[in-house]
Structure formats: structure tokens, C-alpha cells
Amino acid sequence: MAERLGREIRVSGIRFKSNVLMAPLAGYTCFPFRLMVERLGAGSAYTEMVSADALKYNDRATEKLLFTDEREELKCVQLLGSVPMVFERAAKSALLERFDIIDINMGCPVPNVVKAGEGCSLLEDIPRASKIIEACKRSGKTVSVKCRIGMNRQRIVIEEFARMCEASGADMITVHGRTRDMMYNGSPLFEYIKLAKDSVSIPVFANGGIFSEEEAEEMMEKTGADGIMLARYGFEDPLIFSRLTGRECGDTRYSLLTEQLALSQECFDEFFVLSYIKKLASYFMRKMPGTKQLKAALYKCGNITELKSVLAEIFSA
């Protein structure tokens, strides 16, 4: 691997033990998963996307999203919204007091988010995006921004947007190298991530289309980024963090699943545990041959005992 991958990096005085990060993924990057990838070498892992406005309700769903404890070395939360005042209130709230870094979602491309003026839509409202960053910075916390390069090939704004982020006080940017209309398909446009990197002095991380060590190396070489952020493949094969960072581990997919099951039971109710472990196991099975019937059995599990039995049958052989 390129020497640049796996190295320690500092952002606004905060130490990331490696420059290989795990992206926030709605429905997936819960506390047990974040602990796992950090142990495997990830420099940080963000919470699932949290609505800045929803924080005022302090309901059970939000509590699960924000669950953390002292075992999580670096605590990073991602907020979604469109109103600067709401972001400031959220950033200063007691619920986020324990978090070291606030990441602002300015890249989610899904229709309901964009229609609400959130996520990717902020690429087209640079003054509002600037005010949101400034609002979060008033909390005194380190602030990062995750964004795309533009809405489509005719409306690529990443150079101006990256400069605005830095001028508004952002400490770090992660650039997903696709336009909004590309969604999660197609090769990332490396040249525009490089353009962002060349436009600012704060750290720039590259994201999008990384599904192997070779693609991680290619991303670094073609963009000159300070590091990478893995997304879907980090969930499919968390051991990639160990391979990319050179952190030795003796884990298998089965040992990771049993560890995650035990940790999830410590933190959450049985319904959550069953749902989460089934999702994680399904991702782990993606490239395994002959698992169709076992996958059906996995999703029929109605309790933890049944789940443990099926996991052993699938993964311990």
C-alpha cells in the first residue's frame, strides 16, 4: 500500500490514529460497529446521520443513534438539517457534549432529504451552508463537512464550495467524488476531489467507490487527499481497515459477528440486536457461495439463541 495510508493525522488538534476513516451510514454505524472498526484501525467512525432538529425531542430513536461511552476513543457525530440556528442549538446541546467532532451532512442525495433543503441541496445554497458551518463552530467543537462535488456534471461547484467551507471555519472536508445525480453509481471523478484538495489548506478526505485496497491506493494517488473515508465496503468487509492500516489482528468474520452480538446485547434491546446482526451478517455473506438457504434461515431467527445457532452454521466452518 502507499505509505500515506494508515498514517496518523491531526485535525484542529485532534489526533486520528489513522487516515482511513469510516463514513456515517444510516442504519449501520451504530456504537458496536464503530468500536469494531476503530479497533481494526479506522481513525474515526461517525454516528449514523442525526437530524439536528430532532435532537430537541430526545426520544429513544435519537438516544440509540447517539449512544456512546468511554470505550469509543474519538467520538464523532453527523448532523443533517438546513437551519443554522437549529444546528447551533444542537451543537451546544447536552446531548452532544461528549462528542469531539461534529460532521455536517452536505452530501446526502436521496430525494426526501434534497427536497427538504438538506444534504446535497446545500451545494446550491452556499450562503446558507456557510452560516451552518459558522453556527456549528460557535459550539467550540471541531467541525467537518461531508459533501459531493455538485448536483450534476453541468453544476460542479466543489472548488468554490471547499473554499467556502474553509473560510467559514470548517476544520476538515470529506469529498464524495460523485455528483448528486450519480447517486452511488459510476466511478468517482478523481480530478474534482483533487481540485478541492488543491483549493484549501485544511485536510481533505476522499470518499466514493472504494471497494478494495487497490481502489484505496488509486484514490490517494489520483487525488492527493490527506486520507480516505470508506462507506459501504467498510460494512461489507471491516477487515479492510486492518489491511489498509497494517494493524495486525486475528479476527475472522465469525469472530467479528460474535463480538458484535455480545456488545450489542450490552447496549441495546433484543429487537435492535436481531435487526443489526442480521444486516451485518447479510453483508458479510455477499461473496460467499451457496448461502441462499442459510440467508433465509438467518432472517427467520426470532430470538438470540436461534441467531447464534445460524451464525455458527454459516460462518464457523
Render pLDDT for 279-304 as a digit per residue (tens, 0 to 9): 999 999 987 887 788 889 999 999 99
At 49 the pLDDT is: 95
Check if the beta carbon of residue 97 is closer than 8 Å to that of residue 52. no
Note whether 85 and 180 are same-domain residues.
yes
Note whether 270 and 218 are same-domain residues.
no
Hey, what's the cell of 5?
495510508
For the segment 112-137, the average pLDDT, to the nearest whole number, is: 97
Q: What is the pLDDT of residues 79-98, one digit of tens each?
A: 999 999 999 999 999 999 99
Note whether 156 and 275 are same-domain residues.
no
Note whether 203 and 310 are same-domain residues.
no
Note whether 129 and 267 are same-domain residues.
no
- Rounded to 5°, the CA angle 284-16-66 comes to 60
Note whether 240 and 267 are same-domain residues.
no
Q: Does position 3 have pLDDT exceeding 80, yes or no?
A: no
Note whether 167 and 104 are same-domain residues.
yes
Distance between CA atoms of 22 and 9, rounded to whole angstroms?
15
Residue percentage of the chain with pLDDT more than 90:
88
Q: What is the pLDDT of residues 211-238, one digit of tens each?
A: 999 999 999 999 999 999 999 999 999 9
Residue 89 domain flag: yes
At 317 the pLDDT is: 63
At 120 the pLDDT is: 96
At 205 the pLDDT is: 98
Check if the beta carbon of residue 162 is closer than 8 Å to that of residue 200. yes
At 110 the pLDDT is: 96
Q: Does position 53 have pLDDT exceeding 80, yes or no?
A: yes
Q: Does position 32 have pLDDT exceeding 60, yes or no?
A: yes
Residue at a domain's end among 224, 245, 266: 245
Confidence of residue 1 (pLDDT cuts 50, 70, 90): very low
For the segment 160-187, the average pLDDT, to the nearest whole number, is: 97
Q: How many domains does the chain fold into?
A: 2
Hey, what's the cell of 271?
429487537
For the segment 65-92, the average pLDDT, to the nearest whole number, is: 96
Note whether 160 and 296 are same-domain residues.
no
Hey, what's the cell of 242?
486492518
Note whether 80 and 218 are same-domain residues.
yes
Q: Does position 2 have pLDDT exceeding 60, yes or no?
A: no
Q: Which residues contact 218 (CB under 8 A, 6 or more apart)?
A: 190
Give the chain's mean pLDDT. 94
At 40 the pLDDT is: 97
Check if the beta carbon of residue 46 is closer than 8 Å to that of residue 40. no
Note whether 110 and 240 are same-domain residues.
yes
Residue 2 domain flag: no
Residue 188 domain flag: yes
Q: 210 — alpha (psi -120 to 50), left (phi > 0) or beta? A: beta
Note whether 190 and 92 are same-domain residues.
yes
At 102 the pLDDT is: 98
| Residues known to be catalytic | 108
Note whether 96 and 238 are same-domain residues.
yes
Distance between CA atoms of 165 and 228, rounded to whole angstroms?
19
Per the structure, the complete domain to which residue 28 belongs is given by 9-245
Q: Which helix (H) or strand (E) holds 105?
A: strand 101-106
Q: What is the pLDDT of residues 11-24, one digit of tens each?
A: 999 999 999 999 99
Residue 4 domain flag: no
At 57 the pLDDT is: 84
Residue percentage of the chain with pLDDT more than 70:
99
Residue 1 domain flag: no
Say which CATH number the domain at 66 has.
3.20.20.70
